[in-house]
């Protein structure tokens, strides 16, 4: 395993993944500094539109340019969770990322990083390292399943997807992607123990990790010709992702936190409905022009992303195989369960980053130059627009 990992890192996947990571990281660093200098947001907390959630505001000096633009939205909730522990409102977030932030932030504090910046820097370092690992892994997987040119395209499409900057922010996007992709690929390589462990880590990062049990179980059985007599004790590992999510939900209940459905309804304005209901609500909002999201460009883009994921899920079954198709199908079904008349399809463009089969399918289609341009040019423009909005406290996803 260690030798195989070294070969991946030292090979084309490692080089290309690092190159794309460095380019994207440099672009975002310069763009963030430019935006906060050009349009500096008010250095005053407002829990409605600028929720710093008790963290000190970094608005001056090098920290203000390099770290301040990343003090935004859910990042602040993760920092509060790492600092103060669970409350009802933030109890929808599984514990792995906040625990990593607390641990790494403590180490940085011992190294002399000011307490005001230590946890934020830790959150960003964890997310960026996970993004780099995900880039390398995506390139390797795509080159094995398709070819190296497709791998190059998949990597660029992911890194510069309009919401791709969230992979570098203090969010769980990159960490979840790294674990989920690693779990599926490990099972494809007939390593059920490793696949189950990575799936467990994905589930402890985001609740959606529970659905990994389906593609992992399918791939495990496929490799054994769907012959139950060939199933071994190692097959139990496919249940680890689901057990991780159930363990978190059980812990919440034992800790006396409010039921998770109640929390979503009270604080996030979502209820569990039939998959796809939010699509109809979003479409109705756009057609009638009524509701809080009426006229929002982000709603148009969220709806586009939902339709894109649906189409590429179908194509994943055909072009990549059932395992990848099942991953996308289960993820999409899970994401379409929440329904909200107030905020339909909220953050769908950000959630799309977890759909690595989508970027592999797009890369396969992108061998045609006109398709490649059609994907890349609008994506790059929206990437700068959305990230710029984010840096000045504009809601994106």
Please name which of 260, 280, 285, 257 lies closest in space to residue 270, comparing C-alpha atoms.
260
Write out the chain's pLDDT in tens, 397 residues: 667 677 777 689 999 999 999 999 999 999 999 999 999 998 888 888 899 998 999 988 999 999 999 999 999 999 999 999 999 999 999 999 999 999 999 999 999 999 889 999 999 999 999 999 999 999 999 999 999 999 999 999 999 999 999 999 999 999 999 999 999 999 999 999 999 999 999 999 999 999 999 999 999 999 998 888 888 888 899 999 999 999 999 999 999 999 999 999 999 889 988 888 999 999 998 988 888 888 899 999 999 999 999 999 999 999 999 999 999 999 999 999 998 988 899 999 999 999 999 999 999 999 999 999 999 999 999 999 999 999 999 999 9
- Rg, C-alpha atoms of the chain: 21
pLDDT of residue 1: 61
pLDDT of residue 2: 64
**Cβ–Cβ under 8 Å, residues 310 and 304:** no
Tokens describing residue 327: 């991953």
pLDDT of residue 19: 98
Please name which of 164, 137, 184, 143 lies closest in space to residue 364, comparing C-alpha atoms.
143
Let me know how long the chain is.
397
pTM: 0.96
**Cβ–Cβ under 8 Å, residues 195 and 237:** yes
Residue labelled with tokens 């004790």: 233
282: left (phi over 0), alpha (psi -120 to 50) or beta: alpha
Residue labelled with tokens 């490649």: 372
């Amino acid at each position: 395993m260690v030798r195989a990992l070294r070969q991946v890192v030292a090979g084309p996947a490692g080089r290309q993944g690092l190159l794309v990571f460095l380019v994207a990281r440099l672009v975002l660093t310069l763009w963030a500094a430019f935006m906060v200098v050009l349009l500096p947001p008010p250095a005053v907390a407002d829990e409605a539109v600028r929720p710093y959630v008790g963290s000190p505001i970094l608005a001056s000096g090098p920290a203000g340019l390099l770290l301040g633009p990343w003090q935004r939205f859910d990042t602040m909730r993760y920092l509060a969770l790492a600092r103060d522990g669970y409350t009802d409102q933030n109890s929808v977030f599984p514990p792995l990322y906040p625990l990593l932030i607390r641990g790494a932030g403590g180490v940085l504090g011992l190294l002399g990083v000011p307490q005001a910046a230590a946890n934020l820097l830790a959150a960003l370092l964890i997310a960026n390292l996970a993004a780099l690992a995900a880039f390398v892994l995506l390139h390797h997987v795509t080159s094995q399943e398709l070819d190296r040119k497709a791998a190059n395209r998949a990597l660029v499409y992911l890194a510069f997807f309009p919401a791709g900057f969230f992979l570098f922010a203090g969010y769980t996007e990159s960490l979840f992607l790294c674990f989920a992709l690693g779990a599926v690929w490990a099972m494809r390589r007939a390593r059920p123990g490793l696949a189950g462990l990575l799936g467990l880590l994905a589930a402890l990062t985001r609740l959606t990790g529970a659905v990994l049990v389906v593609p992992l179980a399918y791939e495990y059985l496929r490799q054994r010709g769907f012959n139950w007599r060939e199933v071994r004790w190692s097959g139990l590992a496919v249940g680890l992702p689901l057990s991780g999510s159930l363990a978190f939900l059980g812990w919440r209940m034992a800790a006396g936190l409010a039921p998770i459905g109640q929390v979503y309804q009270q604080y996030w304005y979502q209820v569990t409905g039939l998959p796809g209901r939010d699509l109809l609500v979003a479409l109705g909002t756009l057609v009638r022009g009524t509701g809080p999201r009426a006229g929002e460009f982000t709603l148009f883009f969220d709806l586009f992303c939902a339709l894109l994921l649906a189409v590429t899920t179908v194509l994943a079954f055909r072009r990549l195989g059932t395992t990848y198709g099942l991953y996308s199908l289960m993820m999409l079904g899970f994401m379409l369960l929440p329904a909200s008349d107030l905020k339909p399809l909220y953050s769908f463009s950000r959630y799309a980053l977890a759909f690595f089969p989508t970027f592999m399918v797009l890369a396969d289609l992108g061998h045609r130059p006109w398709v490649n341009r059609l994907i890349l040019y609008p994506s790059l423009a929206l990437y700068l627009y959305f990230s710029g909005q984010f840096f000045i406290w504009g809601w994106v996803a």
